[in-house]
Amino acid sequence: MTQFTRLYNNFQPEHYDIYLDINRETKQFNGRTKISGNALVNNIALHQKNLQIQSVHINEKEIPFVIDDNADLIKISTETIGQIDITVTYKATLTDTMMGIYPSYYELDGVKKQIIGTQFETSFARQAFPSVDEPEAKATFDLSIKFDEQPNETILANMPEIRTENGVHYFDTTVRMSTYLVAFAFGELQSKQTVTNTGVKVGVFSTKAHAPKELDFALDIAKRSIEFFEDFYQTPYPLPHSWQLALPDFSAGAMENWGLVTYREAYVLLDPENSALNTKQIVATVIAHELAHQWFGDLVTMKWWDDLWLNESFANMMEYVAIDAIEPDWHIWESFQTSDVVSALKRDSTDGVQSVHTQVEHPADIDALFDPAIVYAKGARLLVMVRSLIGDKALREGLKRYFARHRYANAAGADLWEALGEASGQNIKAVMDSWLEQPGYPVVSAKVIDGQLTISQEQFFIGEYEESDRQWQIPLNSNYDVAPQILSSKRVVIGDYAQLRESVGTPFRLNDGNDSHFVVKYDAQLLKDILEHLDELDNISQRQILQDLHLLADGRQITYADIVPLLVNFAHKDAMLVNAVLYSILSDLKKFVTPNSAEEKALKEFYDVLSRKQVKRLGWAGQSGESYDNQLTRPYVLNASLYAENPDTIATAHELFEKNSDNLQNLSADIRHFVLANELKHFGNTSLFEQLLTTYRKSSDANYKADLRSALTSTPKPDLIVKLIDQLKDADTIKPQDLRGWVYGLLVNDKSQQLVWDWVREQWQWLEDTIGGDMEFTMYITVIAIVFHTPERLAEFKAFFEPKLNTPGLTREITMDIKVISSRVGLIAAEKDGVNKAISEAIK
């Protein structure tokens, strides 16, 4: 098995002079890269991948070289120790894998076009130019590019263009940066630009397939985000411009290339006149996330990929800090509670999950590190915990020190804790090591034992697990001052409960604000007290009660049947925070019923009982000036009512479809996919199906396309399902970047699950060949595991994926997902009868 060789230990680049001549028609490019740097030993190497090396020169003298394709290396020897210049000439091919230098395809007025873009994270710069392709190997870059240029085309890079000579575009020298942050793009583009209050040029670029107004929202958010970060970090943005580029084909959500941030179109472009609030929030937080990286990740970069969390966890937290500051009416931290917190708690409860700080043992493991629920969501939650402990003043002062010490260089986690510790006067490292260096999180049990209020911690698991004696330093955030600030032992007796309850006057609670990464299990006495005073709690606290009960049920520490009678207490709440977790629990109840059974009919009635009044209150159409809570709650209750097959809701959706049949895109974006899916399910025919599929092919609006995909994959008709399956490998219809969403949509549809699962197994090699190097490839396994819940599907999953357990980069995901499905199957077998009985009693 190939292991990492750290090239930077032998040769340290200082400057790259890169020339590329790119031909889009032939998909070929020629390159010449000159690297100036310091050779520490005679035998050195550079990274390359799929480059046809023609010659290598050291100090202008041609030398022999050896290609090691297994390790992505050019091995060379130098007679000179110290400063040398290495010049490599080569040829290569543009990729169609959305990595390296690749074409991005789109259609304009019926004509197929392309723009060229790049994606070099994690280790794909070596597909474009020979290099020491490691985060610590920072250098400056001079980039010059020639291409088969056509009139009215634009070329962009990290730095401004300084001149054009003989068709070659020359760009200004970059600041010191890592190879994976180098970026460029060219093609027929449109843009809108502005300038920040400190003179930074900000622009948004897209193909001309989009209406110019779709660039406005991103431009405003980007400008204000940079201004916010300059103030919050107390460190100027270090480049002359910040370009935001929407690429039609893009594997990840976005990429923080310094000065030229690239995005999937859905995460930067939107129609300001018809976009749902949650879509605006997603776009805004993605932009803020990438711009947070311009300092935290780009200016200061992790030394090695094991500290990836330094980049991603921090940017994930700062996206919320920034948007909360520039759009305070959105209450964006509520979205953090309903997205990042949930995904972190669920993923982190499975035995075998990676810790936030994880060693990398094999090249494929770099991409496997990008577990969004851990490195992004959990890491962000841990940093929120730190922020709560030390406050914003110390956080900002600590970050200022951190940037000053490590700017244009690299850092490790200990460097951040040192800076924050100095600023706060607290030993942050001692607290955080227990969270970063070990996987999982605790359940804190609160009990009254012999009259004494007692709390204890142990690791929380969902599914099978090996016993653990792990222990955390837990910020308890209790509403009782006598509780310790940090629980660092296994068990603590707080005091006489009756006296404390009378003295404080409110029920005892832990994790007030839900900022700490643990769940709470109250005994029956304490939980009863809380539920009797439920309406006195704020929305986050009400949400937390349901969230923790939901997790405890998944962990078999309580039963789902225990939760069912409680749900009616929350059904009338206006808050999105509460409704999000309420309908998440309801969605999980579906796994306890068989399609088309009496139990499913009862569950649908339960859905109707819980959602009926809310649907009547909110209706289908948003009102002028209505609260953000109402806007964000409406989709939850409409979705529930449609699942319940409420006849009035179905009829209203049909009326909306017929009224807007001439221009379905004009349907309000926050309800559009419900209307389309309802029409296909209850009134659809082949003609409508073909109409929507054709519209999907032709549309350039990513959000509308997502609505169309949601509708099309929900069709119950077998012949139409077969047609969809036949489209999955047609890149002109379904781009590879969007394929996983189609697969998931077909998996959750009972009518199409078998066919798409058969397709995945039959086409797995094609999937690996097409997108196997993508850092999100393991998510294909994840989305299957999210859906499967029967013994038969578990057996099939194991039969297919267990032989792949030794595939680098897939081992952890397969192992964990077998446990996830096994746990779900066992839970259903044990509790199905009790849950369905509880549902029947709830609707009496």
Active-site amino acid positions: 290
Residue 392 host element (H or E): helix 379-406
Q: Both tokens of residue 75?
A: 């091995």
| Gap between the Cα atoms of 695 and 676, Å rounded | 12
Q: In the chain, what's the furthest Cα-to-Cα distance? A: 88
Q: Is 654 annotated as a binding residue?
A: no
Give the DSSP H/E element, type plus range, for residue 87. Answer: strand 82-93
Q: What is the residue whose two structure tokens read 């920040």?
A: 196
**β-pairing, 66-68 with 111-119?**
unpaired
Beta bridge partners of 117: 102
Q: CA dist 238 to 118, 297, 586, Å? A: 22, 13, 48
Which residue from 192, 184, 230, 614 is spatially nearest to 399, judged by alpha carbons?
230
Cα–Cα distance measured from residue 189 to residue 206, given in angstroms and rounded to the nearest whole number: 6
Tokens of 131: 């290099």
Q: How many Å apart are CA 183 and CA 125, to the nearest integer?
A: 9
Residue 574 in tokens: 């206006």
- Measured CA to CA in angstroms, residue 459 lies from 445, 453, 508, 517, 566 at distances of 11, 20, 22, 12, 26
* d(C-alpha 696, C-alpha 210), whole Å: 15
Q: What is the DSSP code (8-state) at residue 131?
A: B
User: Residue 726: enclosing H or E segment and its boundaries?
Assistant: helix 718-727
Alpha-carbon span 11 to 38, nearest angstrom: 6
Spatial separation of the C-alpha atoms in residues 307 and 245, rounded to whole Å: 27
- 293 is known to lie in a ligand binding site: yes
Residue 273 annotated as binding?
A: no
Element (H, E) at 444: strand 442-449
What SS3 state is found at 679?
Answer: helix
**Contact between residue 73 and residue 46 where contact means Cβ atoms under 8 Å apart:** yes
Beta pairing, strands 82-93 & 28-39 = antiparallel
Three-state secondary structure of 456-476: EEEECCCCCCCCCCCCCCEEC
> Residue type at 561?
A
Alpha carbons 443 and 246: distance in angstroms, whole number: 42
Count of all residues that appear for the chain in the document: 844
Nearest CA to 258 out of 232, 239, 236, 245 is that of 239
Token digits for 823? Answer: 């746990």
